């Protein structure tokens, strides 16, 4: 009885809480509300807290034995996310455990690592190395970094390399170490670390530059490291990375240093050497980032605190949660009327939000207030204007069918500040909050939205890019048929025929994206899961 009264009281408090920004989250109290996906063992309840039954290792996807207090999100996120929609393959689990053992054997400052570093310092390489590495350079915005880091990890897994991560400005403050007992961060004494910002297409160590100038073909000596430029501005020689013949050569190089802002996983599925391995790892093709994001990206305790406090204060008690991610490719911050019109048209047409009654005649409902469905709308945007308009719309007008709609926006930063740790902590928290939605609307072309949908295992309604004349497109949005992110700048090259080709026609599970007509994306064979 006491528990019932307590939960009822908390529910009333939460329903009257005003929407607020993340700047106040540090002051928010944590209510003792059972997370949405937890089950309580009342036989063990007694005078103690409920015992939560949970599969925190996600069907074996995550390794065991990592201290809970050091990274709460690793153990608690399962209580907030929906249950895994798909089970990781036993082969993927086995390969991840093998990778973790390899990483431990070759991690920074081990004897094997030190010997490999000496190859870079000396510039001499005789074709024999104990460990091979892929070094990921921190580059671009947070959404891009998460997509490219997952791409790099998959490539390392396919080629038996150890992934080492450039901490950049904020990586250590955003994510926990994903592998048990070891670090994936490059140590500050790594000999190339001060050159990361200068690496580009014209760098003498760039693979594309070497190919273009026939440096590799004229030398019998292998370099100890090669820089891979796979950013959006890469050229035809750089794109040869996605050819089998080049992969055979790159396999001999102990150190590969990569800079990219692309989710290049779809093109890995077009490399014959990797085809069988990828099929074993991911029988359901469009679950790649779904599994890798849940394996790699565990927010630090400071970020996870933002997620939990906001969710419990504003979203936990709603019958339904709708996430709307708004990214406007304009120089200003908005709000723009044509964007607002597009979002309203999408959510109303697709029955994601209830219609409003704008007539002067009142609507008499045959249901009590207690029975009314509550909908929490979580909006993420740099501009506060869109959430204000939605909040105003549902305050000034009742819904036709009696739902109670609350609108929340965690932060209103107005401008993106990728080098600011607090700004990026808020951004990461918002990605996770969006991933906890029941339904999701995302902006086309947005890597922020890609991360949120994949983390949550959600197929969003995608807001199509507006026309050049600033008018809302018709239709305003469409339902995604794949969980996967889009590769925005894929190569259009047939490595066998050495001619230009539409790479979306090579295999049935790699096709063009819903939001970027020239992009590539992984789909299940029949287009649906």
| From-to residues of CATH 3.40.50.11350 in the chain | 318-358+371-483
How many Å apart are CA 267 and CA 510, to the nearest integer? 8
- Which whole number is the average pLDDT over 439-459? 97
Average pLDDT over residues 193-199: 96
The residues, ordered by sequence, that sit 6+ positions from 458 with a Cβ below 8 Å of its Cβ are 435, 437, 439, 440, 452, 483
Residues 197, 349: Cα–Cα separation, whole Å: 47
pLDDT at 467: 79
Classified as helix, coil or strand, 111 is: helix
* DSSP label of 88: P
* Distance, CA of 407 to CA of 347 (rounded, Å): 14
Confidence of residue 141 (pLDDT cuts 50, 70, 90): very high
Of 37-41, 45-49, 185-189, 406-410, which gets the smallest average pLDDT?
45-49
For residues 19-27, give the mean pLDDT.
41
On the question of pLDDT at 30 being above 60, the answer is: no
Distance from C-alpha of 483 to C-alpha of 455, rounded to nearest angstrom: 9
For the stretch 202-206, contacts whose Cβ atoms lie closer than 8 Å and that sit 24 or more positions apart, written own/partner, are 203/227, 203/229, 205/257, 206/238
With 90 as the cut, is the pLDDT of residue 199 above it?
yes
Q: Residue 201: which of 240, 157, 163 has the closest Cα?
A: 240
Residue 47's pLDDT band (cuts 50, 70, 90)? very low
Given a cut of 60, whether residue 3 has pLDDT beyond it is: no
- Mean pLDDT, the chain, whole residue set: 88
Q: Kindly report, residue by residue over 153-164, the tens digit of the pLDDT.
A: 999 999 999 999
User: Of the ranges 31-45, 112-126, 245-259, 392-406, which one carries the lowest mean pLDDT score?
Assistant: 31-45
In angstroms, the CA 62 to CA 433 distance is: 21
CA dihedral sign, ordered 363, 368, 373, 376: positive
User: What CATH architecture does domain 318-358+371-483 belong to?
Assistant: 3-Layer(aba) Sandwich (3.40)
Condensed to tens digits (0 to 9), the pLDDT of residues 385-418 reads: 999 999 999 999 999 999 999 999 998 876 777 7
Per-residue model confidence (pLDDT) at position 51? 42
Statement: residue 31 has pLDDT above 50: no
Residues contacting 154, CB < 8 A, separation 6+: 265, 268, 288, 292
Distance from C-alpha of 103 to C-alpha of 389, rounded to nearest angstrom: 50
Return the DSSP state at 399: B
The arithmetic mean of pLDDT across residues 251-264, rounded, is 97
Confidence at 33, pLDDT banded by 50, 70, 90? very low
Instruction: Indicate the pLDDT class of residue 69, thresholds 50, 70 and 90.
Output: very high
Q: How far is CA 270 from CA 233, 266, 356, 411, 490, in A?
A: 21, 7, 48, 40, 11
What confidence score (pLDDT) does residue 23 get?
41
Per-residue pLDDT, averaged over 141-150, amounts to 97
Q: In Å, what is the CA distance from 406 to each residue of 318, 378, 395, 403?
A: 9, 9, 9, 10
Q: What is the pLDDT of residue 409?
A: 97
pLDDT of 287-302, one tens digit each?
999 999 999 999 999 9
pLDDT at 143 exceeding the cut of 80: yes
What ranges make up the beta strands (E) of 384-449?
404-408, 439-443
CB of 153 within 8 A of CB of 296? yes
- Whether 248 shows a pLDDT value over 70: the answer reads yes
Rounded to the nearest 10 degrees, the angle between the axes of helix 90-106 and helix 272-281 is 110
Q: Taking residues 343-349, what's their average pLDDT?
A: 97
Q: E-strand spans in 339-387?
A: 374-380
pLDDT at 28 over 50: no
Q: Does the pLDDT value for residue 17 go beyond 90?
A: no
Residue 216 banded pLDDT, cuts 50, 70, 90? confident
Q: Which of 216-230, 256-270, 360-374, 398-412 has the lowest mean pLDDT?
A: 360-374
The residue-averaged pLDDT of 194-207 equals 96
What's the pLDDT at 417?
Answer: 72
**216/375: higher pLDDT:** 375
Q: Specify the pLDDT at position 371.
A: 72
**Does the pLDDT of residue 42 top 70, yes or no?**
no
* 368 — pLDDT class (breaks 50, 70, 90): low
The fraction of the chain above a pLDDT of 90, given in percent, is: 76
For residue 358, what pLDDT is reported? 83
Biggest CA–CA distance in the chain, Å, is 85
């Amino acid at each position: 009885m006491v528990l019932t009264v307590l939960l009822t009281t908390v529910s009333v408090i939460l329903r009257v809480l005003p929407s607020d920004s993340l700047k106040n989250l540090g002051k928010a109290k944590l209510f003792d509300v059972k997370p949405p996906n937890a089950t309580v063992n009342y036989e063990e309840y007694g005078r103690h807290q409920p015992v939560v039954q949970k599969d925190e290792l996600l069907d074996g996807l995550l390794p065991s034995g990592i201290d809970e207090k050091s990274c709460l999100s690793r153990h608690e996120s399962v209580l907030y996310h929906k249950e895994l929609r798909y089970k990781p393959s036993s082969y993927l689990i086995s390969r991840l455990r093998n990778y973790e053992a390899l990483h431990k054997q070759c991690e920074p400052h081990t004897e094997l690592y030190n010997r490999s570093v000496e190859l870079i310092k000396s510039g001499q390489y005789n074709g024999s190395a104990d460990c091979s590495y892929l070094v990921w350079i921190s580059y671009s915005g947070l959404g891009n970094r998460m997509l490219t880091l997952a791409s790099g990890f998959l490539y390392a897994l396919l080629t038996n390399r150890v992934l080492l991560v450039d901490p950049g400005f904020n990586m250590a403050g955003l994510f926990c170490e994903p592998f048990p007992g070891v670090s994936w961060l490059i140590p500050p004494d790594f000999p190339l670390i001060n050159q990361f910002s200068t690496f580009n297409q014209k760098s003498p160590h760039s693979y594309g530059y070497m190919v273009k100038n026939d440096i590799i073909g004229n030398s019998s000596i292998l370099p100890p490291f090669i820089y891979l430029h796979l950013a959006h501005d890469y050229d035809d020689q750089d794109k040869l990375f996605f050819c089998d013949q080049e992969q055979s050569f790159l396999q001999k190089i102990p150190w590969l240093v990569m800079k990219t802002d692309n989710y290049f996983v779809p093109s890995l599925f077009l490399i014959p050497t990797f085809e069988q391995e990828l099929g074993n790892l991911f029988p359901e093709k469009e679950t790649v980032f779904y599994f890798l994001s849940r394996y790699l990206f565990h927010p630090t305790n400071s970020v996870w605190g933002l997620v939990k406090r906001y969710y419990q204060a504003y979203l936990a008690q709603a019958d339904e949660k709708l996430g709307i991610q708004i990214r406007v490719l304009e120089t200003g911050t908005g709000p723009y009327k044509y964007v607002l019109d597009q979002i309203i048209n999408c959510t109303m047409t697709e029955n994601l939000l209830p219609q409003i009654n704008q007539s002067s005649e009142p609507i008499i409902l045959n249901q009590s207030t207690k029975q009314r469905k509550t909908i929490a709308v979580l909006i993420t945007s740099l501009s506060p204007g869109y959430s204000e308009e939605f909040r105003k719309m549902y305050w000034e007008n009742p819904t036709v069918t009696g739902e109670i709609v609350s609108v929340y926006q965690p932060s209103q930063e107005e401008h993106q500040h990728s080098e600011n740790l607090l700004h990026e902590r808020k951004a990461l928290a918002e990605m996770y909050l969006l991933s906890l939605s029941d339904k999701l609307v995302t902006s086309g072309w947005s890597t922020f939205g890609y991360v949120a949908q994949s983390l949550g295992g959600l197929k969003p309604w995608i807001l199509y890019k507006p026309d050049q004349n600033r008018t809302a497109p018709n239709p305003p949005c469409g339902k995604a048929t794949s969980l996967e992110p889009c590769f925005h700048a894929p190569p259009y090259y047939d490595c066998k025929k050495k001619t230009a080709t539409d790479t979306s026609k090579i295999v049935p599970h790699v096709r063009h994206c819903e939001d970027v007509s020239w992009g590539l994306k992984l789909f299940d064979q029949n287009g649906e899961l």
